[in-house]
Amino acid sequence: MEAFNISPDLLCLQEEGFSFRHTLHKIPESSGAEFKTAAFCQNILKQCGYTITTYEGFTGFIANLQAPSANAPTIAIRADMDALEMPDLTQNEHTSTHQGLAHNCGHDLHMAIALLSALYISKHAQKLTCNVRLIFQMAEEKTHIPGADKMVELGCMNEVDEVYALHNNAALDYGSIEIKEGVMSSYGSIWQLDIKGKAAHSSTPHLGLDALREGVRIVADMDYIISKCINPFHTAVFSCGSFHSGTIANGVADSAILKGSLRAMDKQSDEILKNALKNIESQSAIRGFDSHFSFHSYPAIINHPLCVQKLLKAAKSVLKNHSMITYPCSPMSASEDFSHMINAAPQNKGAMYFLGSGNAQKGICNYLHSNPYYVEDKAILIGAQIWINLIFGNE
């Protein structure tokens, strides 16, 4: 770790931080069902003197540590808890013990960083000039299960002045930082299209309404919308990832269910895409079909300039080689519900950055949601030191 300025006190806690991740990696849980995960994290935080607030019926919780001053501002840090519904193909002593579930988005790393930061901060609480709130969020991965939006509704952002989050990226070497002001992620929606037609024998197609063919037409229409209705200097993506229709070879399908996603890097393009889908609904009705689109959407993460500068200062204090910081970076085309928390902060004060968690020398270079998904444990120390610097003002 010679390339990084890591506090000696934090280095002494290194093995605990690594152990946090290894334990969490072994017990991945699906969105909204992070019971063991939440219990593990709460137990550690209680031992560190944090006050835990839970929400009935939900696994998400917050942990608070008060500064000595009565009028101190509150800084919040978000860590997401859920895993992915896929097998864990890693092969080591902390491979998932929960069949069909894996931390292949690195949320175990996010939690370990938050827990290690919490442990260090609790040992230096007398120096705090701000209150610390750790938000352990359920269900980041699935748009149809309440996640950040529900936690905001339940009060996780009450009395918070600024909110921060990180996301790991094992395609980057540990210690690499990517951050920018403004739009950091796309406006994203998961859509579902339900089409109802009329069944018939394939020898008499004129007596039916072919829902399968209608679905194909609609997907083709959306490709046209992207190419002809979106400003070519703007980025937008339409995808159909699931198409289920028909059960027999010699029949006209009477129904179809399609699922996919929309991504746009600006609000105007996002609205154009959604309106286009609604217009396609009406066009489908003219052809005799009963078609309905439903959406689950994330707003874009828009990093506040002041918060970005605070994160940059915190990161530069850790990294001796500032060339490892990409600023401004390109925004990610994926979406993240952390945007709900930023939007709930006063003056939308909040920011997210990307932390490298790979190690090319060890062959660790994975893309999010790939399998197997290995990370470099040393990223835990770097991420924790950045949070610590942010909380203590880079002292």
- Annotated binding-site residues for Mn(2+) read 105, 107, 141, 167, 369
Which residues define the annotated binding site?
105, 107, 141, 167, 369
How many whole angstroms separate alpha carbon 386 and alpha carbon 301?
20
DSSP 8-state symbol, 34: -
Torsions phi, psi for 214 (to 5 deg): -65, -40
How many whole angstroms separate alpha carbon 362 and alpha carbon 281?
51
Torsions phi, psi for 152 (to 5 deg): -65, -45
Tokens of 170: 């094992």
How many whole angstroms separate alpha carbon 53 and alpha carbon 227?
48
H or E element in which residue 266 lies: none
Alpha-carbon torsion, ordered 276, 278, 280, 283, to 10 deg: -130
DSSP 8-state symbol, 48: T
Q: Which amino acid is at 252?
A: V
Q: For tokens 């750790």, what's the residue?
A: 134
Q: Which amino acid is at 317?
A: S
How many whole angstroms separate alpha carbon 94 and alpha carbon 269?
43
How many whole angstroms separate alpha carbon 157 and alpha carbon 378?
30
DSSP 8-state symbol, 359: B
Q: Are 325 and 316 contacting, i.e. CB atoms less than 8 angstroms apart?
A: yes
Q: Are 148 and 48 contacting, i.e. CB atoms less than 8 angstroms apart?
A: no
SS3 of residue 79 by DSSP: strand
